[in-house]
Chain A
Amino acid sequence: MNIMSEAAVEKALDQKMNTVPYKMIGKDVSVYYGEKRALFDVNLNIRENTVTALIGPSGCGKSTFLRTLNRMNDTIENCRVTGKITLDEDDIYDPTIDVVELRARVGMVFQKPNPFPKSIYDNVAYGPRIHGLARTKAEFDDVVETSLQKAGLWNEVKDRLQEPGTGLSGGQQQRLCIARAVAVSPEVILMDEPCSALDPIATAKVEELIHELRSNFTIVIVTHSMQQAARVSQRTAMFHLGNLVEENDTDKMFTNPDDQRTQDYIMGRFG
């Protein structure tokens, strides 16, 4: 059997990207905040077990699009979404769909680390508890440990699980939030600029983590950092003024984009 280096495997994986099936399909997605239109007929599909980066200048609608994927926009007053978004064939804007269940399937990590003012253990156990994913103490312990391990935080906190999550450092807090999202066993994890409040070392750790999570989860990440998009993602989508400019393999996007605006943005000519 041919033994390939890890990098070679990844390269092969990336080249086959076009054949990876879609996890979520967005068709003609438009978002209005009251009278103001924030997204214009976006057609963007999210591939399974892939990291998709959404880039673009501030106010371009990338976070808005991200939040349509688990209907977090519902919590904003006067926000209206048109078009169709499916998650494995299910229309997530179908009136009969259970939004709460949807959000359990599509988890979210926010820009600022937002651990609950509870212990580290209770932060991670929060999701499993409300969704009844674990029953006994042993089961909970197990979920907490595996989630923290997946988030690369276990070794740092295993001796102080009962201490408040708010006492951790910023980077640890963000990984705790990732562990919290992972504990619900979602299919998709949305990340809204997860590293913007972190220092470079913490950022590197989170990026590494995203890399590892990719094998189990479909990840959509909004980022302002071109380098981060290039480092962590396989697919990149560029937004500008509420429109999807182009979506492509990350390698191609950063070397030879189809659209002049992408070129300009990546070269730092606007943004």
Chain B
Amino acid sequence: MSTSFLLLLIVLIGFISYFAGRARSFAQAGGKLSNLHSLPGYHGSYVAIWAILPAALVLGAWLVAAPVYIDSSTRAVLPEAVQAQGGATVELALGQVKSVAGGLNRLTAEEVQALESGSANLRSTLAAKGVALAGEGEPYMITAAQHFNAMTVTNRWLMSAVVLLIAIAGGVYAIRNIATRFRARNQVERVMLGALIVASSIAILTTVGIIASMLSEAGRFFTMVSPFEFFFGTVWDPRFAAAGSGGASGQFGLIPLLAGTLYIAFVAMLFAVPIGLFAAIYMAEYASPRLRSTAKPLLEVLAGIPTIVYGFFALVTVGPFLRDISAQLNGLVTGNYQNFIQAQSVLTAGIVMGIMLIPFVSSLSDDIITQVPRALRDGSLGLGATRSETVKKVILPAALPGIVGALLLTASRAVGETMIVVLAAGVAARMQINPFEPMTTVTVKIVNQLTGDLEFTSPQTLVAFALGITLFVITLGLNIYALYIVRKYREQYE
């Protein structure tokens, strides 16, 4: 019985239990629903939960535990000689045994007999059935594979029987509990609560897991390169060629990357903040509802464009445009048509990233500006202030903490952005202050270090985790600070 069929059966039992539970509660009520503590639907759900949940949990645990047990039992069947070699050899042999086991299931009885008697070649026989073996098969593998197959079959039958039994037992137990005063509704509520808690803890645990893995890998990196060299080094030269050869390794200075990250984010904010903020003020304070209802979604479409498309736009349109216009300008002034803006530059990346960030700034600020109570607006207008005076002197000061929070959230996006920078600012890690020259960011270097077929043992690849954790700390700090400010602001009006 396959696992999916088993699951289907459990669900079916659950369905039946639901209707059985409902019917029983109807019967207990004796025709008067008000006799029941809970509605019949709750009784049905209660029974269904008892039928499905324990069985599904056991099934899940079984699916995790059984392969481990079967593997260890198969390992025990392997010849002493193989077992003595330990570690990787045993695992390799086990892998082959499993392939053979898979192949044996496709063979006819005669073919299996031929193999057992040694008259047929294992590898070629299996290859004919579409199962490729990594090496020449050994005779012991056939025995081990047969053991493996037998275990698997027994295991499957046992699992099906146990799980179905639990499902039925759960259903029966629950049905017996049903009585007029039984509080099925509260029981269902508790299960709902449990489900919600499980869902949220999965989200949190995943985050914790990601951080833990980054930390441990970054820890390995710092055993090879000292944290001081990493955090305060001013040269980024990882020397890919030296990777794996041991000894001489590159220089992993974070400073040039961090400088590039902050510089490009700064230029992007320089473009996004005024435009986004003014757009938000217009949308919130001046635009008629009809204009607002069309213009705001249009602006937010910008936020839905994948960043790689922005990268494209930078590479194909904005970069060359800036390069050409700088050449023209230079030509007009000095007569020398030499461009002073590179096609890939901090400016290009900043402008395009700024365009990407406009909807974030405007949408977040718009929400905050519209939250400012109408009474304040009326108060100012009622004193004879113009709209812009009202915006400048009352609304913006009142909304300022929230807007600062929004800008910090936007900044953390700018710091984490990758694709635009790869295409628009290049991959050269340099320390300079000319916005017309290429620079690169932390995220770009992470991509750079991890593409290729290097092992995860050299500092050249492990540095990605150190970069990742650095970036994570920066954006986390920005986010926490932003949320803190936003929350403080909310308290003012509630």
A interface residue numbers (CB < 8 A to B): 70, 72, 75, 77, 100-105, 107-108, 110, 112, 114-118, 126-127, 130-131, 177, 180-181, 184
Contact = CB atoms under 8 A, between A and B. Distances in A.
Contacts of B397: 117-118
User: Helix, strand, loop or mixed for chain B's interface?
Assistant: helix
B378 A114 contact: yes
Interface stretch (B50-58, B178-186, B369-377, B422-430): B369-377
Interface stretch (B138-146, B212-220, B234-242, B385-393): B385-393
Given A126-B385, A127-B384, 4 more contacts: A75-B378, A116-B380, A116-B398, A118-B397
Contacts of A180: 379, 383
A100 B384 contact: yes
Contacts of A184: 383-384
A110 B379 contact: yes
A114 B493 CA distance: 12
B289 A107 contact: no
A38 to B, nearest CB: 18
Nearest to A112: B375
B386 to A, nearest CB: 5
A236 B127 CA distance: 104
B50 to A, nearest CB: 54
Given A117-B492, A130-B389, A107 B379 contact: no
B395 to A, nearest CB: 10
Contacts of B393: 126, 130
Centre residue among B377, B384, B394, B398 by max chain A CB count within 10 A? B384
B384 A114 contact: no
B382 A70 contact: yes
A101 B385 CA distance: 9
17 contacts: A72-B382, A75-B378, A103-B381, A103-B382, A103-B384, A104-B384, A105-B384, A107-B383, A115-B379, A116-B376, A116-B398, A117-B397, A118-B397, A126-B380, A126-B385, A130-B383, A180-B379
Assign chain B's interface to a size class: 20 to 34
A101 B384 contact: yes
User: Helix, strand, loop or mixed for chain A's interface?
Assistant: helix
A114 B386 contact: no
B334 interface: no
Nearest to B392: A130
B288 interface: yes
Contacts of B288: 77
Contacts of A75: 377-378, 381
Contacts of A105: 384
Contacts of A115: 379
A126 B377 CA distance: 13
Contacts of B373: 114
A116 B389 contact: no
B380 A100 contact: no
Nearest to B400: A117
Nearest to A181: B383
Given A117-B397, A117-B492, A100 B385 contact: yes
A127 B384 CA distance: 7
A107 B398 contact: no
B376 A103 contact: no
Nearest to A180: B383
Contacts of B386: 100
Contacts of B381: 72, 75, 103
Given A116-B398, A117-B398, A104 B383 contact: yes
